Structure 1
Amino acid sequence: MNAPHPLLRAWPLDPRDDLPLALWDAAGIEAATGGQASHAFQASGVEMDSRDVRPGDLFVALRGEAMDGHKFIASAFAKGAVAAITDRPVDFPHVLTGDTAKALHALAQAARSRSKAVRIAVTGSVGKTGVKEAIFAALDRSSRGAAHRSVRSYNNHVGVPLSLARMPARSRFGVFEMGMNHAGEIAPLGDHVRPHVAVITTIAPAHIENLGSMEAIADEKAQIFTGLAAGGTAVIPADSEYSQRLIGHARALGVNILTFGRSEDADVRLLDAIAGNNGGSIVTAELGPRAGGRRLCYSIAEPGEHWVANSLAVMASVQAAGGDLASAGLALAEMGGLQGRGARSQITAAGGKALLIDESYNANPASMRATLRAIGQTPALRRIAVLGSMKELGDFGPRFHMQLAEPLIEAKIDHAILVGDEMRDLAAELGRRSAQSLGFKPGFAHCAGPAEAIAALEQFGLTHGDAVLVKGSNSVGLGRLVSHFTKEPG
């Protein structure tokens, strides 16, 4: 028999090669949860919603206040589930546990413990999903597909452990999003992930109704640092008026700190940003000594000044995680908008096509201003804004809605369709300004909900060259309007 080629003999050994290819098998789930498996099986995924089950998934039958996942076990298996985690015997392959929620948490802990992946956690009032996706794209490129991330907005007390449980043992990086509505929610999520890098994108008045003040929002977001692994790094927005408050939290925990922004003392500092040919930006940034000490020039496909700031957070995070900055630059140049968070579609309009910008998933005062600035910089014959109510602002709501009049006017919005009860305050403010203004004044209409907004936009009539921004809190339901005009089911 011929001897193997020398280069084949020199193929590098990787300890990860000894890890199983399957995401989970029955024995691994038994060991993690203390449960008892009815059959031997291997699973390629983990799912808690029977509607989203794919062939090969492990279905976790969670019980909530209003719903019991055990009722949907048959549906999950009909869609291809190979086994379920249950708290009672069922007529399907399963792992029997005392509490399925605790079993999911145990599975998440086991996934974290068995993997050598560098874990990055992302939170913030604005931009956390986009930044999470960009960090993942950068690390997935440099690791050749060995990065993992939380999908959708799985960022709460169920979504985070589910995302961890889905992390393959062979992952080199894991990127996890963390959200909150009330005080005390971030720290447990950080304890689940125990990240090596914890990122705060920005501090803005999202959920201020529940938190009470901007300072309280900053303090709650800073709880992400409490879960940092030894030697971990806190990535902090230097331009935020709460940056020193966040830095104080990080210093009290003794973790490393990297800041990003336009500020002179930012570790990842913006030097210049100019408009790119594709509607995005070309950015020059300087990395200080704590961030590697180099200068970068890269392109961003996503339009808007907020994405310039987001890109600095991405570069700081990739540097802290030991990733490749060149791959991060390429990832930012290729990223497209996410559904509900900046996706751009060409839709049918009289005489040709109009641009629809889908920001329908969420909204708060800071993100509203950022996206209005972005559409104001978008070339268009006319600019139309369909704006839904911003929720969870409490007593601050009327003032924050009224204050959108100025950015609407600055963006040269020709017509605004305002949707939801809270938007009455903006409608009233625009009415007052229209009566007093001698300069530019946008037309506007107020609608109760998405169906009325669809009719109002159809009545207004889209023509070739129009740009339409759709943005509002998810509960307003403006995704229906987006689906209607893009002709996508939704």
Structure 2
Amino acid sequence: MSLWTAAEIATATGGTASTDFAVTGVAFDSREVGPRDLFVAMKGEASDGHRFLDQAFAQGAAGAIVSEPTAHPHVLVADSFVALQHLGRASRARSSARIIGVTGSVGKTSAKEALFACLDRATPGDVHRSVKSYNNHTGVPLSLARMPAAARFGVFEMGMNHAGELAELTQLVRPHIAMITAIAPAHTAFFADESAIADAKGEIFAGLEPGGTAIIPYDSPHRDRLIGHATPHAHRIVTFGLEKGADVRAIETMPVSTGGTFVTAVLGTRELSFTIAQPGMHWVSNALGVLACVDAAGGDLGLAGLALAELGGMQGRGVRFMAGEMLVIDESYNANPASMRATLAVLANEPGRHVAVLGEMRELGERSDAYHADLAEPILAARVEAALLVGEAMAPLAAALEGRIDIVHVADTAAALSSLRTILAPGDAVLVKGSNGVGLSRLVASLAGGNL
């Protein structure tokens, strides 16, 4: 079945179709184009998608959205980026799916994937979600445009690093349920303080559909602030967390031999016991928020619990693998002070010698030095014996750890690759985490390929 026809694309975007065609997918990165896809050729500061039209059609594209004439099947528009937004809006307008929007300083991609798994367990093939971390001004409309008209549920991740960005994205998604995973120091270079981050995240509630539900972290020090943002827009507010008073809360947690956690939770007057495959108390919190969303969406809680028990780690976000005789925990996609602490706490429970490969945390502003130095205590609490610190911003942490554990501080990932060979030993448990721009995923790939 087609996702869009040329006529539907032209109507949605106000463009002109060169010929009839039908597509089954949408992409704006020519490298991701597959058979029968729609390629959206956008002009950016560094590149112009129109230069890759031949490549996109060689890879099987059935049509394109363009702002310049081409011999390939296309819909001609004035601005391809604006057209993508219009296509996303048209997708949302034609959908009768129950829509869930997810944001937060940490855990939003993991929560989105967990939500997808929980809902898909009950209605396989009928759940759509944004892929990767497509959560910005281009990723969100793309994810919407990819949603099949017959989908029963849609799960969309929304991110921001400036005030006002979520206000725009939530008006595109128009969720029935909006969840904030947690508020933590992230992108603090662009915000006065953590309260300002909470205000920016609270913008998600302004897009709630009438009768919508707001899902809020009860344990957050910004809980009341978030409730204040939700109250004018939400018909119902549901809190989740570990503390007594949360609407959805864990009343018992117990580690299991596989590394996850067995949880008994209450949802109002109901009680549910389930296992979370992923280790760490941050995952317990994530799971409670996910269950609150599933319940608000009318999903099957029992099947959701089974899905959480089977949920594997994601590349760059907790996937585990053996590199020879070493355990590698890949958290290389992103990092902020809260997520660093959470994953170090996970490392603390692993057998063997603990090695932490930590890349600098970016966009932290004037408090960057303090945030980095403050990681010393969580590192020591995790019984890390050797730390490889990557990036200039790691200098304060290197100073804080000097003489307390073995440390190597290097400028970049290339230098880290060389240094790591002298640090690792069989039986080590190795955590790799840092901001995506540091490029520690290359180091993880070398470990996975046995190239160290």
Q: Same fold (TM over 0.5)?
A: yes
Counterpart CA distance in 2 for 1:142 and 1:460 is 46
> Are positions 1:454 and 2:422 aligned together?
no
SS at match of 1:269: strand
Counterpart CA distance in 1 for 2:406 and 2:294 is 44
Match of 1:426 in 2: 397
Counterpart CA distance in 2 for 1:108 and 1:100 is 12
Match of 2:34 in 1: 54
SS at match of 1:46: strand
Counterpart CA distance in 2 for 1:397 and 1:54 is 42
Picking from 379, 385, 390, the partner of 1:414 is: 385
Match of 2:438 in 1: 476
> Are positions 1:158 and 2:138 aligned together?
yes
SS at match of 1:338: coil
How big is the shift at 1:67?
1.7
Picking from 306, 330, 339, the partner of 2:282 is: 306
The percent identity for this pair of structures is: 56
- Partner deviation per Cα, 1:85-144 (whole Å, 9 max, x = no partner): 011220100011111111111111111111110010100000000000000111111112
- Partner deviation per Cα, 1:420-464 (whole Å, 9 max, x = no partner): 001010000111xx3xxxxxx42111011112111111111321x
SS at match of 1:89: coil
Q: Which moved more, 1:27-36 or 1:311-320?
A: 27-36
> Are positions 1:137 and 2:117 aligned together?
yes
Picking from 328, 331, 336, the partner of 1:356 is: 328
The one-letter code sitting in structure 1 at the alignment partner of 2:297 is: A
> Are positions 1:389 and 2:360 aligned together?
yes
With normalisation by structure 2, the TM-score equals 0.98
Counterpart CA distance in 2 for 1:375 and 1:273 is 18
Counterpart CA distance in 1 for 2:233 and 2:21 is 43
Match of 1:271 in 2: 251
Counterpart CA distance in 1 for 2:450 and 2:408 is 25
The one-letter code sitting in structure 2 at the alignment partner of 1:122 is: V
Counterpart CA distance in 1 for 2:391 and 2:248 is 40
Match of 2:312 in 1: 336
Match of 1:368 in 2: 340
Counterpart CA distance in 1 for 2:85 and 2:290 is 28
Counterpart CA distance in 2 for 1:61 and 1:362 is 28
Q: Where do residues 38-53 of structure 1 align in structure 2 (5 Å cutoff)?
A: 38-53=18-33
**Is the Cα–Cα contact under 8 Å of residues 417 and 444 in structure 1 kept in the other structure?**
yes
Match of 2:371 in 1: 400
* Gap runs ≥5 in structure 1: 1-20, 435-440
How big is the shift at 1:66?
2.2
Match of 2:128 in 1: 148
**Is the Cα–Cα contact under 8 Å of residues 210 and 234 in structure 2 kept in the other structure?**
no
Runs of 4+ in 1 over 2 A off after TM superposition: 252-255
- Rg comparison, structure with higher value: 1
How big is the shift at 1:254?
4.4
The count of corresponding residues between Structure 1 and Structure 2 is: 451
Picking from 243, 259, 262, the partner of 2:223 is: 243
Counterpart CA distance in 1 for 2:364 and 2:50 is 36
* Gap runs ≥5 in structure 2: none
Match of 1:444 in 2: 407
**Is the Cα–Cα contact under 8 Å of residues 68 and 76 in structure 2 kept in the other structure?**
yes
Counterpart CA distance in 2 for 1:305 and 1:52 is 35
